[in-house]
Amino acid sequence: MVTERLGRARAALASVAMRIRWRSPIRGPWLTSVFGLVLLCALPVVIVTGLLDWVAYGPGAIPADVGALHLPRLDWPTRPAWLFRLTQGLHVGLGIVLVPVVLAKLWSVIPKLFARPDRNLLKLAERATLVLLVGGILFEIVTGLLNIQYDYVFGFSFYAAHYAGAWVFIAGFVLHVALKLPTMVRSLRSRSLRTELRTPPARTRPEPPDEGGLVAPEPDPPTTSRRGALALVGGGAVLLAGLTVGQTLDGPLRATALLLPRGRTAPGDFPVNRTFVASGISPDAVGTGWRLDLGAVRLTRDELAALPQHTADLPIACVEGWSTQQTWSGVRLRDLAALAGVADPTGATVRSVEEGPFARAALTAGQVLDPDSLLALRVNGSDLTRDHGYPARVIVPALPGVHCTKWVAAIGFSR
Amino acid sequence: MNRVRMVGVLACVALAGYAATIIVRDPTLHPSIVGMLIWFAGALLLHDLVLFPLYTAADRVIGLLPATRVPLVNHVRVPLLGAALTLLVYLPGIVRQGEPVVLGASGLDQGPYLVRWLWLVLAMTGVSALVWVVRVTRRSAADG
């Protein structure tokens, strides 16, 4: 019964496959390998910067329990100050830029999807792992794109799904590279890139028939050359780069991120990742009655402002890939530690007036002691606005934006 | 050789299975498992069985364009692909999905994105048309 059904399904697939006439005269192992090479070079950067994001979050990272599937845990450094701005900007930016390359790569191998299943069990198993590879990359692209645009339509934890999905993809990716690397190298050597870049559509000929069945046996006449196809995909990547890079730039160029939430800012302001209204904090809680609780001492805002102030140019960089550099002034965290009677802190816990999952952040000793780590009271020469964390917020070099707690209520320095 | 490949396949499946335990080990994520699987399979099926046939069909329609001295095909293809790619990548803003969260996060609405995208499509179409006209003119001049 089951074998009969399987047989029928196989026959149906085979008849569909036979009815499809692949028409592209440029589809073939060389073109596929060019896209493959680009992805082979660029995807590891996206993978590593993504995994670094988990490390940067420190002990509070989500998902918390990832078993052995993480880069070595380390105290995230505070120098260079733009470190997280770079890693997370690369992760999101490069991830977006690669979308057309991934789509082109999938287009270039799509005949294999409809190819007759092999009778060899090993080959069938290898083919099945492509579900992990292709499903994995598409899942990561879709969840990532939705997350950076604050669209949580999927309804599950983005962090857990994107992190687990990444490792599913990595599993498929590593096997695919191991299996296909020789084919890629051989195919790349079969044609000269320089010659292809000089070949117009009129002189474009199909690649010789290949084992994998990518080359169409009866192609249509060419409407574009391989050069044209590469330019099209490269152009798509450049277009997306141009529409994305603005979310990491300050000044008028930020507006070039035309279609991203972080291309816009209120006039004269810089982006926030949570407004005061959305925090649900009552205005009274950050009014004249507000005190900073350091355990041993409680300080009013005026008392904080009377302490020695330090100014530093520091970026705020968010997991969504956007970042901005501003000039912050306030009290050094290490001065506050001394004031609290902890001369040599081994770390700190910062608590916000706000309640919720990101209302508490743990800092390492290095992050507390960096001379530019501040409890900021002012930004760009003016008092913080409520959206930016008035009465006081934490700003630490290279710390993910989500841990730069706003509306700080208490800091506990650990001995 | 086959043995090595078999070990590779098994290692790949084992790693993917272990990755899935990140979700399984956290009881608070259990209600999400079905949703995650649906989105994983959905992304794959949507690409292979919807997106691919759709853009292939669109390309076939473009192939029906009347023959001109300078072929129109790529001058239609390029802006169309540009429009599709930007729509796909920046969809939430353009269709205003998730606006309350965007508002809570940034204090800004999603109002301008649809119009901006339409302008972008118009610009790509315009440039492509202009290049075509220039090419036709130059071809005519060359033909005398």
Whether residue A70 is found in the same domain as residue A128: yes
Whole-angstrom distance, CA of residue A394 vs CA of residue B25: 33
pLDDT digit string (tens) for B50-66? 999 999 999 999 989 99
Per-residue confidence at A11, pLDDT binned at 50, 70, 90? low
**A304, A408 contact by CB (below 8 A):** no
Does residue B98 belong to any structural domain of this protein?
yes
| B50 domain-assigned | no
Residue A259 falls inside a structural domain: no
Q: Judge whether residue B142 has pLDDT over 70.
A: yes
How many independent structural domains does chain B possess?
Answer: 1
The verdict on A405 and A314 lying in the same domain is yes
The answer to whether residue B3 is domain-embedded is: no
Contact A99 B20 (CB under 8 A): no
ipTM (interface pTM): 0.96
User: Would the CB atoms of B105 and A272 count as touching at under 8 Å?
Assistant: yes
Structure confidence by residue, pLDDT tens digits, A61-75 = 899 999 999 999 999
- Does A264 map to a domain? no
CB contact under 8 A, B5 and A126: yes
Tokens of A275: 């407004």
At A5 the pLDDT is: 67
* Ordered DSSP codes for A125-190: HHHHTHHHHHHHHHHHHHHHHHHHTT--TT-S-HHHHHHHHHHHHHHHHHHHHHHHHHHHHHHHHH
Helix (H, G, I), strand (E, B) or coil at A377: strand
Residues of B in contact with A149 (CB under 8 A): 90-93, 98, 102
In a domain, A263, yes or no: no
Please indicate, yes or no, if residue A305 is contained in any of the structural domains. yes
Does any domain span residue B19?
no
**Residues A78 and A211 grouped into a single domain:** yes
Query: Taking the alpha carbons of A302, A304, A306, A310 in that order, is the dihedral positive or negative?
Result: negative
**DSSP annotation of A264:** -
* Number of domain units in chain A: 2
The whole-number average pLDDT for the span A168-191 is: 98
Lookup: tokens for A294: 């350091």
Rounded to the nearest angstrom, the gap between the alpha carbon of residue B92 and the centroid of all alpha carbons in its chain is 13
Which position has the higher pLDDT, A198 or A59? A198
In the numeric block, the tokens 């630490």 are attached to A396
Which residues of B are less than 8 Å from A275 in CB distance? Answer: 103-107
> Distance between CA A125 and CA B10 in Å, rounded?
9
CATH number where A371 lies: 3.90.420.10
Residues A360-387 have pLDDT tens digits of 999 999 999 999 999 999 999 999 999 9
What does the pLDDT average to over A245-262?
Answer: 94
Cβ <8 Å between B108 and A261: yes
Q: Quick one: A163 and A310 in the same domain?
A: no
Per-residue pLDDT reduced to its tens digit, A305-318: 999 999 999 999 99
- Count Cα neighbours of A369 within 13 Å in the Cβ-side half-sphere: 13
Q: Which residues of B touch A178 (CB under 8 A)?
A: 8
Query: Is A260 domain-assigned?
Result: no
pLDDT at residue A219 is higher than 70: yes
User: Structural domain of residue B110, as residue ranges?
Assistant: 67-144
Residue A66's domain comprises 2-253
User: Packing angle between helix A83-97 and helix A226-244, nearest 10 degrees?
Assistant: 140
Q: Tell me how many degrees the CA angle B87-B91-B96 measures, rounded to the nearest 5.
A: 130
Contact flag B15-A170 (C-beta cutoff 8 Å): yes
Q: Is the pLDDT of residue A403 over 90?
A: yes
Partner residue facing A175 (CB), from B9, B19, B77: B9
For residue B51, give the DSSP letter: I
